[in-house]
Amino acid sequence: MGLVPPCFITEIVERDLREGHYPRLLTRFPPEPNGYLHIGHARSIVLNFGLALDYGGECNLRYDDTNPETEKEEYARAIEEDVRWLGFTPDRVLYASDYFETMYRCALVLIQEGKAYVDDLSEEEMSELRAQGKPSPYRDRSVEENLELFERMRQGEFPTGSRVLRAKIQPDHPNFKLRDPVLYRIVHAPHYHAGNRWVIYPMYDYAHPLEDFIEGVTHSLCTLEFENNRAVYDWVIENLKGKCGLPLSPRPYQYEFARLDLTYTVLSKRKLIRLVEGGYVSGWDDPRLPTLRALRRRGVRPEAIREFVRRTGISRHEARIEMELFEEVVRDDLNPIAPRVLGVLEPLRVVLTNYQGEEWLEAPYWPRDIGKEGARPLPFSQELYIERSDFSLNPPKGWKRLAPGQRVRLRHAYVIELEDVVEEGGEVKLLKARMVPGTLGANPEDGIKPKGVIHWVSARHALPVEYRLYNRLFLTQDPEEGGDFLKNLNPLALEVKKGFVEPSVAQDPPETRYQLERLGYFWQDPGDSRPGRLVMNRIVPLKEGYRPQ
């Protein structure tokens, strides 16, 4: 099975390779380094790098770094790190800014051929005339005047935003994108990669096709929002092929696919910046966010993200994918690799009145259906912690946990029955219980029929843990429902619990993922957890609808 599921793009690639349109496949992942990658970018990453791997081609990581005001080295380094974490190795790491000289020469060719002109209109004036389908009063400047002005723009004689270079196509074209689009603008700002060498910067619609053509990209894959931009892409290539050092053929073609969108979160860089800079989350790696580094810190594995992209497919149909599906894929990925251990989130102390000392039980890591071997010693002592929610003084009908007159089995251990409840100020502080002799392990022949099975840890040996329970970031499937998305933030997107976990986890590598039985999948937070101060993140809950019985 390939990394990219069969789709309209694989059909195009197979046709082009079969018919010999290209000697080999070359794709690119072209992020702008103005923020951190999120789960939505994963579809483009897997598609571009996956196609190269599936069809014996190559894929470049290329930064579309044409806006010095928003781009940073920090973002560029983080992007490459995230791509490699997802399991992909770029054949080359490239920068659009390295092509600025070639792009400038190409712009001179367009001016010389009467296909581009310098415009003095303000942004507002230009937008108004474009909306009306009317030409700029500067459209008919001579080639000589345009060349002079463009050179003066490059030399920094004019202030930011005072002039632009526009393509001379058609002011009233039915495709708004072709109404003399802007090719260059003036920005007096240092560039994180190019330094201070330039004060004019190419626009995306001009730079993108040239970058692809210069590199020899065969299939330029974009999300559907760039469908109308394809006309500009083709115009630039058709008017510059064979000129300014560019080949005549083969040329790249742009194809669009639907972007990946998820319920209960936002994937807009602008909105993510508001969340981070407004202090609604702790940073770009806050596990409540959908950024790749946040998912990484939460404990989601790259294998799960790649499978999520494969399972959701590649199409031209825009649809918001249910968060439940993402969580299901994460659970499916963790289930066969996460050993089962015991932990308690909200501890309630239990003292066994007829048990003294301690013993070490052998508890398997894996249920039978996983088919793996392995066990660990599990300490059992007179004092235990159970989950507070596993006890009720006045249980509802059908209650299958601990209650007066109701026995339960402790997972991997004995059956217990309640003897006394100690309360303080109306709150249950301690349970006194009796261990039923001869009930170690699940033995149906002992005649004991407990109502249910609950998890526990030994109070004498358990390790204290700060549990961080990450829930959905927003209360509604569409966070923008009702206006400002910040009003739909989930106040319980992070719940912190002070609990305990069995001592065996201290022997494991810190990157081990666990299933805490009846609670969910967890791992040690790579930023804050350390020996003596365990912090465990809940990666994903157990299956939606699961309730402890």
Strand bridging mode 494-501 / 463-470: antiparallel
Neighbours of 480 (CB within 10 A): 14
- 395 DSSP 8-state letter: P
Nearest partner of 216 among 97, 18, 58, judged by Cα: 58
Specify the 3-state DSSP secondary structure of 465.
strand
- 445 DSSP 8-state letter: G
Nearest partner of 88 among 28, 46, 36, judged by Cα: 46
Residue type, 104: Y
Q: Which helix (H) or strand (E) holds 351?
A: strand 347-352
Query: Hey, which residues does 514 pair with through a beta bridge?
Result: 522
CA 75 to chain centre: 15
Contacts of 544 (CB under 8 A, 6+ apart): 324, 327
Q: Which residues are catalytic?
A: 32, 259, 269
Q: Where are the alpha helices (DSSP H) in 316-424?
A: 323-334
Distance (Å, whole) CA 516 – CA 514: 6
Nearest partner of 92 among 115, 63, 67, judged by Cα: 63
